[in-house]
Amino acid sequence: MSLPSSDLPSTGASATTVAPRSKTRPAQPVDRGPVDRDKDAMDAINPPANSWALWRRGLDWPTVVWIGLAHLAALAAPFFFSWQALTAFLVLYVLTGSLGICMGYHRLLTHGSFQTYKPIRWLLAFLGGLSGEGSALTWVANHRKHHKYSDKDGDPHSPRHGKWWSHMFWFMPNRGLKWNEELLKRYAPDMLKDKGMLVLHKLFLPSHLFLGVVLYAVGYFGTGLGMGGHWYGCSMLIWGLALRMVYVMHVTWLINSATHLWGYRTYETTDDSKNLWWVALLAFGEGWHNNHHAYQRIASAGHKWYEIDMTYWFILAMEKTGLAWNVVRLRDIPKGTPPA
């Protein structure tokens, strides 16, 4: 059987060269998309990050309304607590946070830390979409741009432009349709070629509506699970969808903000990235951020024995069962390779 390869565009960052680990398939040529241009060619159409001139252009209202409604609905969670809803919250927290965002969006689709079959790529992208943080297309493009200009002009969410800007305000200004189209073309051309990713992009909102209906139905009709009726339907909906989305969002956003502000540095990278243990615990290993910025394609964010990385455990489990291959490890980095 021919195995699919993972093609990543050039982001301009100091990419780490690793040798393919597979003995059954030679390395495939990488389609790097259009040649990258200077930052100003794209960003000159917008004022500087977190500037008054940028905010004067208005808000990206669909995004602001989406995030705002999720936060408002989450406020009702204390009034609709049930153990069944807490269980749904925890299960979906792992599925959308670790498998969807950390493994799917980040390590697989953004950096190509391992390879897998297309249906699994699409499944992980679907789970990532249910986090509420946008489709795989926009998430991957923004994150690749972040690595190219990390903590410099052009970084979408550097704390150097403001702590709250890096945490959650960076995606709220209206940069215009042209800017967003160019973002995808320049930083996710490989994703735009994948019809499955394009379908998931269009199904971002409908997928949440579908999940909401399922959660409410489980609560309303789930008499065998000790539930039943409108109150339990709302309990499952609020905890499994709204509160869980808000929690996963803020945990993920802490990687953009907190891990570029506080923590320790194992590697002397060219940015402000740091390793922060409590973010790593909340974000399934992603808080070992200095490690990741130093060698971005490594599947494990934890480089020390005590740096726990739950997402990497899932990747290893997939490798053991034949669902993942070409997993990039720290030992694959040629000796003497400087950090990014």
Query: 162-190: per-residue pLDDT in tens?
Result: 999 999 999 999 999 999 999 999 999 99
Q: Is 313 helix (H, G, I), strand (E, B) or coil?
A: helix
Tell me how far apart the alpha carbons of residues 8 and 11 are, in angstroms, rounded to a whole number. Answer: 9
DSSP codes, 168-196:
IITT-B---HHHHHHHHHHH-HHHHT-HH
Q: For residues 171 and 60, what is the distance between their CA atoms, to the nearest angstrom? A: 8
- pLDDT at position 36 is 43
297: tokens are 């394609």
pLDDT at 41: 61
Report how far residue 215's alpha carbon sits from residue 235's, in angstroms, rounded to the nearest whole number: 9
Angle at 183 between CA 148 and CA 142, to 5 degrees: 50
Return the pLDDT at 46: 80
Three-class secondary structure of residue 288 per DSSP: strand
> Which parts of the chain register pLDDT below 70?
1-41
**HSE of 336, CA atoms in CB hemisphere, 13 A:** 0
- Give the angle 30-32-35 at the CA atoms, nearest 5°: 150
Q: What pLDDT is recorded for position 101?
A: 98
SS3 (DSSP) at 218: helix
Give yes or no for a contact between 260 and 274, defined as CB atoms under 8 angstroms apart. Answer: yes
